[in-house]
């Protein structure tokens, strides 16, 4: 691919290693900006050359086509800073590429409290912001105060987190508002207490979820007031297999990669899971994961009825 980029880049690179599910074929080009400036410049260069691209963070909530994709991929990992805001010491400015587990560990090391509930959630700050990552004990929106985004015009804007900014595993952020930085508010805390809280969260997660297997987290969102995992379990999905993709025996809302899973395996299993719940509960489950499928450009609908990001 003949593209000029103001940052390091690799051609024809396999994407599986960048995802927690370990599935994904080659992208024609993967841009690897080393810092925020290079990231912004790389996006501007791609836009100026009329090339479609996708931003890849921690790859934690994502199924990528094993046959590869046609778009350029821009990694956000180079924006991994964590800075104190001068105006208020409770505020921390996090780069979108910072790993969420690293942020949680650093916050504790700094003696800050309020992020413990994110312990055990993989991915990047940017992805966690777009998805409003969280669980039973809270969501990122509970500590996010402002989000700095890159607009299609190339301008940057600082968006205040307010009503309508975040929803359940959803936000206004995405390809039209690429997350550069998220400002979070944490209280002065106690390291020992934070450590205990984090361990309790991890223990709870480890007891319920297949944390040692390769997965993309929960596949479906919980319908209002219900648990997709319980419904899938009672509909008999645990242990079901399609090629290398299997429904976890531990938690029925997780698909694990038992080795060599393809996107067709995953989609077939997703269809089967959805049909089982539809039949038993007359409820159509909505996907939580993102799917990057060859032939479905960023922003278009995917075959499971969900727009790409
Ligand atoms: N359950 C079953 N069988 C299963 C799975 C769950 O009976 O196979 C039951 C559990 O026993 C429990 C209920 O269903 O009574 C709820 O299950 P769980 O506590 O595991 O929570 P969840 O609603 O399935 C949500 C989030 C998780 C988050 C956990 C814990 C969604 C879709 N899932 O799961 O988030 O980690 O709470 O806070 O909102 C994710 O979004 O990727 C994710 C893993």
Pairing state of beta strands 26-31 and 138-139? unpaired
Q: Ligand 1 centroid to 227 CA: how many Å?
A: 6
* Distance in angstroms (rounded) separating the CA atoms of residues 305 and 244: 23
For ligand 1, atom 12: residue with the closest CA: 230
First to last CA, the chain: 23
For ligand 1, atom 27: residue with the closest CA: 135
Average pLDDT, the chain: 95
Burial of 295 (0-12, 13-18, 19+ CB in 10 A): exposed
Task: Report the pocket of ligand 1 as residue ranges, CB < 6 Å.
Answer: 135-136, 205, 208, 217-218, 221-222, 227-230, 233, 251-253, 288
* Lowest-pLDDT range of 7-21, 77-91, 138-152: 77-91
Of the pLDDT bands very low, low, confident and very high (cuts 50, 70, 90), residue 1 is confident
pLDDT score for 307: 36
> For residue 220, which atom of ligand 1 is closest to its CA?
32
Testing ligand 1's pocket by substitution, the residue of 63, 253, 283, 290 carrying the most ligand atoms inside 8 A of its CB is 253
pLDDT score for 203: 97
Give the Cβ contact number of residue 113 at 10 Å.
17
Of the pLDDT bands very low, low, confident and very high (cuts 50, 70, 90), residue 295 is confident
Q: Ligand 1 centroid to 157 CA: how many Å?
A: 35
Percent of the chain at pLDDT exceeding 90: 93
Q: Residues 205-247: pLDDT tens digits? A: 999 999 999 999 999 999 999 999 999 999 999 999 999 999 9
Q: Ligand 1 centroid to 281 CA: how many Å?
A: 18
Q: CATH classification of 212-288, choosing from 3.20.20.70, 3.90.78.10, 1.20.1240.10, 3.30.300.30?
A: 3.90.78.10
Of the pLDDT bands very low, low, confident and very high (cuts 50, 70, 90), residue 306 is very low
Q: Quick one: average pLDDT of 123-150? A: 97
Q: Which residues contact 270 (CB under 8 A, 6 or more apart)?
A: 219, 255, 287, 304
- DSSP 3-state assignment of 174? strand
Of the pLDDT bands very low, low, confident and very high (cuts 50, 70, 90), residue 75 is very high
CB distance 82 to 93 below 8 Å: yes
CB distance 42 to 5 below 8 Å: yes
With 50 as the cut, is the pLDDT of residue 301 above it? no
With 60 as the cut, is the pLDDT of residue 135 above it? yes
> For residue 131, which atom of ligand 1 is closest to its CA?
41
Q: Residues 192-205: pLDDT tens digits? A: 999 999 999 999 99
Q: What is 82-193's CATH topology?
A: 3.30.465
Percent of the chain at pLDDT exceeding 70: 96
Residue boundaries of the structural domains of the chain: 82-193, 212-288
With 70 as the cut, is the pLDDT of residue 297 above it? no
Q: Do domains 82-193 and 212-288 have the same CATH topology?
A: no
pLDDT score for 298: 57
> For residue 209, which atom of ligand 1 is closest to its CA?
20
Q: Ligand 1 centroid to 267 CA: how many Å?
A: 21
pLDDT score for 305: 41
């Amino acid at each position: 691919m003949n593209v000029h980029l103001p940052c390091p880049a690799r051609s024809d690179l396999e994407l599986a290693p960048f995802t927690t599910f370990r599935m994904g074929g080659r992208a024609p080009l993967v841009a690897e900006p080393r810092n925020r400036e290079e990231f912004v410049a790389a996006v501007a260069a791609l836009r100026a050359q009329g090339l479609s691209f996708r931003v890849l963070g921690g790859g934690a909530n994502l199924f990528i086509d094993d046959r590869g994709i046609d778009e350029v991929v821009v990694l956000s990992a180079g924006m991994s800073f964590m800075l104190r805001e001068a105006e208020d010491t409770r505020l921390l400015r996090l780069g979108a590429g910072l790993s969420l587990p690293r942020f949680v560990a650093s916050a504790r090391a700094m003696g800050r409290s309020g992020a413990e509930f994110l312990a055990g959630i993989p991915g990047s700050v940017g992805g966690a912001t777009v998805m409003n990552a969280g669980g039973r004990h809270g969501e990122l929106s509970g500590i996010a105060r402002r989000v700095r985004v890159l607009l299609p015009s190339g301008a940057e804007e600082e968006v205040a987190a307010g009503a309508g900014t975040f929803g359940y595993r959803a936000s206004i952020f995405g390809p039209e508002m690429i997350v550069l930085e998220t400002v979070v508010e944490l209280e002065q805390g106690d390291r020992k207490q934070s450590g205990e809280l984090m361990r309790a969260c991890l223990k709870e997660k480890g007891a319920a979820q297949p944390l040692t297997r390769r997965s993309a987290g929960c596949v479906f969102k919980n319908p209002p007031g219900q648990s997709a995992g319980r419904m899938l379990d009672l509909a008999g999905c645990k242990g079901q297999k399609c090629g290398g993709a299997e429904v976890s025996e531990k938690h029925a809302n997780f698909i694990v990669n038992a080795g060599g899973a393809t996107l067709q395996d995953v989609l077939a299993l997703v269809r089967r899971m959805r049909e089982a719940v539809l039949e038993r509960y007359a409820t159509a489950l909505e996907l939580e994961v993102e799917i990057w499928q060859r032939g479905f450009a960023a922003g278009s609908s995917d075959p499971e009825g969900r727009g790409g990001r």
